[in-house]
Amino acid sequence: MKKVKSILLLSLMLFAVSAEARLTIEISEGVEGAMPIAVVPFGGEGSKVNAASIIATDLARSGRFAPLAAENLPGRPTNGKSINFAAWRAAGVENVVVGRVQQEAGDKLLVEFQLFDVVRGEQVTGYSIPATPARLRRVAHQISDIVYEKLTGQRGAFNTHVAYVTVEKDGPEKRRFRLAVADADGYNEQVILTSRQPLMSPAWSADGNRLAYVSFEEGRSVVYLQDIASGQREAVARFKGINSAPSWAPDGRHIALTMSRDGNPEIYILELRSRTLTRVTNNISIDTEPAWAPDGRSLVFTSDRGGKPQIYRVELNNYRPQGRPRRLTFEGLYNARASFSPDGSKLVMINGDGNQFRIAVMELNSGTVRVLTDSRYDESPSFAPNGSMIIFATERNFRGVLEAVSVDGRAHQRLGTSQGDVREPAWSPFISQ
């Protein structure tokens, strides 16, 4: 029970982080047998944003591709007519991306790219995408998504965002908490909120335009919703006791959350327009960390009603509970903080055994649980919107960092800052182009 209670106060475990720090990515473990590919420097690129380098890095950190190093490229073509396919085949490359950035009127740019199958000597796809210097990174991520989908059959998730919480030291015995959003590769950080009191549990709306989160600005936990673009926010749960762990329903009109307004921490569903509350659980134990199934017809949550924290599922009909919650996890002494994969076939969770808490994935059809990490204290796992990767918080060298692992456990990357800690990651849904 103590462990479940600590989940509700997770923000107290954050340490210091530099206010100017940006997330940086280190590919800590690649995948043997990744697809060899080359991304040739684009013609006409400026020095500030290197689209080809961004694309190559995106593909590499997916774990599915092994981009050829720039110094090993057998040529520098910028269009298909200039490609010597025999030379690229000799270099062991299966696919090659070429392109150029053209200056249009004013500050407008036109980014052209082509993806070729080197073995067949044929174009796979190619587009011309309008851009501006400020949007060039986003266009590069869009190209990465197109290449990834064409070669894997799965939608790419490079043009997405990550929300997270950091804390900076602000004098003796003082800290400053920040809720921030950045591109999935750590660039273009936008601070959503700064507070001297803890911020925690960011959760994305299905359209990617709003965040729900918990703030202690009033000296107690309050759930807020905030529009990312405008900064407008509103408190939606400031009842007595605990207000925590918000989770957006797929329809964007409801959130599930944990509250102790009636004495014990229980799961509730809040209809946002009417502010109508529906109580989902009713148990003497602690029920917390609700997460929606993609179809909105059930919730999973953490409960210690069986003696130790485990994952339970409750079916819903018109946002009302149907029947008793059903226990899903039995492997390990501790399972918590579960959420569904985008296709609803898997759960990601924290699996604890002894003093180690690691990321694990459960196949819902078979009940098979697979542990993906070997670190000691992992927290807050969140699926990428295409289900290929999982981002989570952990500790390295006594500092909090974010890491990502592929759903099969083969590819790993680390996202950290030069100083301090970063925690509570939440991967955004797909964003509009």
CA-to-CA distance for 73 and 118, rounded, in angstroms? 14
What is the mean pLDDT of each successive set of 10 residues along the chain, which is 433 residues long?
A: 37 29 58 87 82 94 92 95 96 97 91 97 97 94 98 96 88 85 92 95 97 96 97 96 98 97 95 97 96 98 96 97 96 95 98 92 96 93 97 88 91 72 95 69
Q: Which residues of 36-50 are buried (b: 16+ CB within 10 A; e: fewer)?
A: bbbbbbbbebeeebb
Dig out the tokens for 80 from the structure: 């298909």
DSSP 106-161: TT-EEEEEEEEETTTTEEEEEEEEEE-GGGHHHHHHHHHHHHHHHHHSS---SS-E
The string of DSSP letters for 215-279 reads E-TTSS-EEEEEETTT--EEEEE--SS-EEEEEE-TTSSEEEEEE-TTSS-EEEEEETTTTEEEE
Q: Which residues contact 408 (CB under 8 A, 6 or more apart)?
A: none
CA distances from 239 to 7, 212, 229, 243 (A): 19, 16, 27, 7
Residue 381 contacts residue 337 (beta carbons within 8 Å): yes
- In whole angstroms, what is the distance from residue 235 CA to residue 217 CA? 11
List the structure tokens of 430: 């797909």
Contact 166, 178 (CB under 8 A): yes
Residue 402: DSSP 8-state: E
- CA-to-CA distance for 294 and 289, rounded, in angstroms? 16
With beta carbons less than 8 A apart as the criterion, state whether 247 and 223 touch.
no
Q: Which residues pair with 83 in a beta bridge?
A: none
Quick one: pLDDT at residue 26? 61
Provide φ and ψ at 138, rounded to 5°. Answer: -65, -40
pLDDT the model gives residue 2:
39
The residues near 92 (Cβ < 8 Å, ≥ 6 apart) are: 36, 68
> What pLDDT sits at residue 431?
80
C-alpha to C-alpha distance for 219 and 168, rounded to whole angstroms: 19
Say what the pLDDT of residue 4 is.
41
CB–CB of 350/359 below 8 Å? yes
Query: CA 265 to CA 282: how far, in whole Å?
Result: 9
Cα dihedral across residues 186, 188, 189, 193: positive or negative: negative
Q: Which residues pair with 423 in a beta bridge?
A: 165
Q: Side chain identity at 95, as an amino acid letter?
A: N
DSSP run (H or E) holding 88: helix 85-90
Pairing of strands 175-183, 356-363: unpaired
Measured CA angle at 66 (ends 60, 72), to 5 deg: 115
Q: What is the pLDDT of residue 85?
A: 97
Q: Which two tokens stand for residue 128?
A: 């011309």
Amino acid identity at 145: D
AA identity, residue 216: F
* Nearest residue to 339 (alpha-carbon basis) of 204, 214, 152: 204
